[in-house]
Chain A
């Protein structure tokens, strides 16, 4: 441990217990150095040096006076004024000579150590109090790069000190009631790494918390571009156990940050063409970095975020760890309870139920039947076992390590709240309050929906947990289950993971948002082809992974107010008089295509391009919000003029979401359609006469209203009689299982749901179809005069 009144200490002398002297960042770097991990060489100017600076220059008193001037709540301007004044005082005051002398001397030693006269250094603040969430207090501009020479270093150390007094930091401390004089910072000074490549390593997957993976993100140049997020990095996923690379995503890297040797600052520049699409790390480096991160995790015994930099040297490349931080969110979720007891090797299942919020936890059970007992019994990280929770239970749910309830399904209170809080939860565990005993230890595996007796280490081990996941069985159904897609980039993943039978709704609106201009403005600027190409590319991205399964492209259905966000929107929507009092009932759908055929023709050309140039003939078209036969006829005529004519391999669907299409469905069939898809959101709105955006009447908005169901039943019957396919792409099947059963019973050919609902809907539909088959068999038997009950038949 270093002396607490030291002015300068070298990183290799520092350990993690020195956080109050050198701050969290520097203490961490010292700890890594001791472990033999290469960090950029350097030293820390201690918090005590800053305290002495404040005392000896008497600046502390001036600061206090400045901050206590005025009374009552301050406006932002006052914080800014106070900040400006204080920072000026700190930066202009002469540093006490003994402190300055030690800082200068340490810099000269660093020159010798690195063999680099006028070595460039990074100067960073390092917060000393663990209560302070660093950046919010110390300010975010408190890192100075490429500092060169003794004089500059002294100047930037003072700048770092003054960054403790940004307006936001002052405001935040006052809000939280932290005394300003108690907050001190240390300053870290390290050799600048001239990074060829830099990046971040996560020792678990930050997206889903999978601890069996290591994620590495890297990009060209200095790390600040990556940390500040101005570039998208390459991404590597490594298996933590085998250190094999399991996934690589190399993205185009357009810019990099590099040192500007003239100004001493950093600058942004374009990445040279030959490196732009090249991987920023080789496979061997990826594996080496993963090994390094795994060592660091082992050392700290908790998952880490590690920043690294790769420097080109005469003998090759050198990897530096620039910073490492504990990952707290997922670590907190998965930590088993600490107990001195030896683990149980045999798994004994005590209760089973529905896995409502995934995760693993081991701890002591507290069987709490009444809320009045919860306060007395529940301790931090206990397993809360009860019949069912309600909002009054939330304070006890928050401290629970896991929750097990006897009642409820995946949408009950306990399930929703525990998912929200990230607490493992099993619901519907029958007799849990009788079989689990207060004070006993159990292991809750809320991935598998099982509670084991005792602490089952092999379950708590990440690899075991991953290995025991039961593969989901995806049943084959007669009713086709399609998927709704808005973002073409994700189609390949959705196709692979959901096994959907096709795309029942490919939305065009987000493609338009990606183009980034109102279509009329594009046309005015001569950029119509840009829209054709962008749309064709978007549709190609969806149609390719799904081929030969059908993809139903729904033409643009922006409501006029939704166009306003795009450049040109104000001119071509509001000023053109299209934004009426209720845009949902306004200038939209097939009517719009007829009134603005030039825009509609661009969409048609994009679809033709996909079908003819890309040879993706699994793409079909659906017209939304069709109000009249005449609109339909005219839109269809435009399509035909653009080469999109109905044929056995090109289908034309309409959305059935206006009562007129329900009442005239026979006429539309005669006019020539291949399919309809219910848009239950608008259909419900229009049948019940409810403005969907008017909050005061939402309580009667219900897609299960008998009038809506009758409308759908009528349309399905007429369409079935004429061989026209029927589907649904509204939210009703995703939200209400009873609507799914209704549609299957009525004979809908398909239904299209959001990606996260495809497998669930398939399983639900499979069950309903089996039930229908059994019901049909019973009916046949009853008609034949036999008992309806299905008895097993044994061979005679």
Chain B
């Protein structure tokens, strides 16, 4: 599952120096697959819940305890892409603010009943194989693929 996100990131962010999954929760497999696809990029994951972060401490991916509503900026600096899978919509706006501040792109894959919260004028719909994959906001000016 979510292999299409991995493919998309690999194809579009192959020159990225840092990629961050925000609100990783219980699963770290997507981040691990991205790291495997892009070994030169630093891939890290964050969650406000320290228990999840500790659970991921055995992974090769660095896991960081952080509440994106009050982000610890140094953790995110120099990221090319922030992405989040099924985030509660309350943290979408803080993610937008953060991505804008650090000039990173933001990819959000919402749950189906929160799809329509993404205002079409502000977000770019990301379609893969004819299906909606998620929503993107581009803040970087340079090409990373």
Contacts and interface: CB of A to CB of B under 8 A. Distances in A.
Interface string A281-311: 0000000000000000000000001000000
Contacts of A566: 26-27
A230 B131 contact: no
Interface string A151-194: 00000000000000001100110010000000000000000000
Contacts of B13: none
A514 interface: yes
A206 B78 contact: no
Contacts of B121: 411, 416
Contacts of B25: 513-514, 516, 565
A150 B143 CA distance: 46
Q: Is the interface of B mostly helix, strand, loop or mixed?
A: mixed
* Most chain A CB atoms below 10 A, which of B2, B67, B88, B115: B88
Given A231-B65, A416-B122, A487-B90, A692 B115 contact: yes
A562 interface: yes
Interface string A230-265: 111101000000000000000000110000000000
B27 to A, nearest CB: 5
B74 A230 contact: no
Contacts of A167: 40
A411 B39 CA distance: 41
Contacts of A441: none
B72 A76 contact: no
Interface footprint category on B: 35 or more
B112 A692 contact: yes
Interface footprint category on A: 35 or more
A487 B130 CA distance: 31
Interface in A468-511: 484-487, 490, 507, 509-510
B1 A564 contact: yes
B116 A329 contact: no
A254 B78 contact: no
Nearest to A411: B121
A76 B40 contact: yes
Contacts of B50: 231-232, 254-255
B90 A513 contact: no
B130 A207 contact: no
Contacts of B86: 513, 562, 565
Interface of B: 1-2, 15, 17-18, 25-27, 39-42, 46, 48-50, 52-53, 62-67, 69-75, 77-78, 85-86, 88-91, 93-94, 97, 100-102, 111-117, 119, 121-122, 125, 127, 130-132, 137, 139
Given A168-B41, A693-B112, 5 more contacts: A133-B78, A136-B78, A167-B40, A486-B90, A566-B27
Task: Please give me the 3 A-B residue pairs with the lowest Cβ-Cβ distance, nearest first.
Answer: A229-B64, A731-B116, A486-B88
Interface of A: 76, 79, 133, 135-136, 140, 167-168, 171-172, 175, 200, 206-208, 217, 226-233, 235, 254-255, 305, 329-330, 411, 416, 420, 422, 484-487, 490, 507, 509-510, 513-514, 516-517, 557-559, 561-562, 564-567, 583-584, 679-682, 692-696, 698, 730-731, 734-735, 754-756
6 contacts: A168-B41, A172-B17, A227-B72, A228-B75, A565-B86, A682-B113
